[in-house]
Amino acid sequence: MPKLTVLSEEEDSMRILVSKGDRAFVNALRRTMIADVPKFAIDQMRIELGMFQDKDGFSNPLDCPECKKMTPDKRPCEKCKFYESNFAVSDEQLAHRFAMLPIPTFHDEFHFQNECPECRDMVEDQRGCPACQIIYAITSVGEEDGKVVEASELNVIGDRRLDIPERFGKIPITKLYDGQVLHAYFYAVMGRGRDHAKFSPVSGVTFRARQHGVMNVKSRSKMLFELDLNITAKDFDKEGRLTDIEKVDQLRSDLNHVGPGTDLEASFDGAITLEDVEGEYIFKFQTDGSMTARTCFEQACKELSNRFEALTADLAEAF
């Protein structure tokens, strides 16, 4: 049975040591994170087209007290100004940019639309309730010098926990100029990365075999230590091995200074090498911000476990 040890953990990233496992298991975990962990993402967008005006504005500037004070060349004032919903980028590009925003995902509180108790018996285009759909709205008006529309302007209709996380609020979407307005509604649903990349909760997930540093020739190893980088001779034990994971990472970086493409390559000639540790792997990943790294990892383990249980049941029936 594989053993998992958390080496480091932050809100959006995690580094794990997998022991007593094999490459197939770790890769299955990686693929599950990418393709199977459920995540909310904007799936539909409705842009309001046409001309828009300030809600307190006057259709005729001559009826506006502010405009009456202005000369004709200065009219209309801000309240009487009309805005048109046209943009520098196409609707498809806007839809893609909004779809890639990190939508907060709470797995225990929401359902897939085809599994939602309220909506699963409806036809697909009529599904959508507070338990399986999140609705966002945005109204952003352009400025003379241009205004960057940011993710923070997207407002959820409902629970404020579902707003775009503050640390991602500065993500730019498009730019609006004087006379332009973006007035739209967005509908987010739960999905999986295997259906579309926007539903994948990880932006980076990888693994490599755990390695130990091995000092093969002590005399030539001094060439590396004399560069005064990160690793010294004292970091190796009496048998000439370096096993600390963090130190090995530093050694891997240091060896680039004496490896292929350097003047010291021929002289150093493998005085210190890295050796794979059988059955141990360093697994690390980063989420897109839609959920914490721990939540993503727990969901991946749950999905993988359910898949193996289903496979076991199928094999039992077959034989």
Instruction: Report which of residues 144 and 108 the model is more confident about.
Output: 108
Both 45 and 106 in a single domain?
yes
Q: How many CB atoms lie within 10 A of CB 33?
A: 24
Q: Enumerate residues 6+ apart whose C-beta is below 8 A from 155.
A: 136, 137, 138, 163
Q: How many CB atoms lie within 10 A of CB 108?
A: 4
The total domain count for the chain is 2
C-beta of residue 113 within 8 angstroms of C-beta of residue 41: no
Host domain of residue 207: 3-37+203-286
What pLDDT, in 10s, does the model give residues 6-37?
999 999 999 999 999 899 999 999 999 999 99
Both 101 and 158 in a single domain?
yes
Both 31 and 45 in a single domain?
no
- Give mean pLDDT, residues 243-258: 95
pLDDT of residue 2: 86
- Scored b (16 or more CB within 10 A) or e, 44-71 reads ebeeeeeebeeeebbeebeebeebeeee
Q: How many CB atoms lie within 10 A of CB 209?
A: 15
Q: Which two tokens stand for residue 11?
A: 């809100």
Both 233 and 189 in a single domain?
no
What pLDDT, in 10s, does the model give residues 217-230?
999 999 999 999 99
Lowest mean pLDDT among 5-14, 77-86, 178-187, 234-243: 77-86
Is residue 60's pLDDT more than 60? no
- Quote the CA–CA distance of 4 and 207 in Å, as a whole number: 13
Quote the crossing angle between the two packed helices 23-35 and 293-318, to the nearest 10°: 110
In a domain, 191, yes or no: yes
Both 189 and 282 in a single domain?
no
Is residue 40's pLDDT more than 70? yes
Query: What is this structure's pTM?
Result: 0.81
In a domain, 180, yes or no: yes
In a domain, 65, yes or no: no
- Quote the CA–CA distance of 54 and 76 in Å, as a whole number: 12
pLDDT of residue 137: 94
Both 216 and 269 in a single domain?
yes
Both 152 and 254 in a single domain?
no
C-beta of residue 75 within 8 angstroms of C-beta of residue 61: yes
Both 138 and 218 in a single domain?
no
Both 33 and 172 in a single domain?
no
Cα 242–245–249 angle (5° rounding)?
A: 90
Residue located via tokens 């109204």:
139
Q: Where are the alpha helices (DSSP H) in the chain?
A: 23-35, 65-68, 91-99, 218-225, 245-254, 265-268, 293-318
- Quote the CA–CA distance of 49 and 85 in Å, as a whole number: 5
Lowest mean pLDDT among 69-83, 106-120, 210-224: 69-83
Choose the final residue of a domain: 166, 197, 228. 197
Choose the final residue of a domain: 197, 229, 249. 197
In a domain, 80, yes or no: no
CATH number of 171's domain: 2.170.120.12
Both 110 and 19 in a single domain?
no
β-pairing, 272-287 vs 172-176, is unpaired
In a domain, 272, yes or no: yes
Closest to 7 measured CA to CA, from 248, 253, 256: 248
In a domain, 165, yes or no: yes
In a domain, 267, yes or no: yes
Closest to 40 measured CA to CA, from 93, 119, 99: 99
Choose the final residue of a domain: 197, 231, 248. 197
Both 44 and 32 in a single domain?
no
CA-based R_g, the chain, Å: 28
CATH number of 216's domain: 3.30.1360.10
- Give mean pLDDT, residues 195-207: 94
In a domain, 105, yes or no: yes
Q: Which two tokens stand for residue 75?
A: 């009219």
Both 166 and 45 in a single domain?
yes
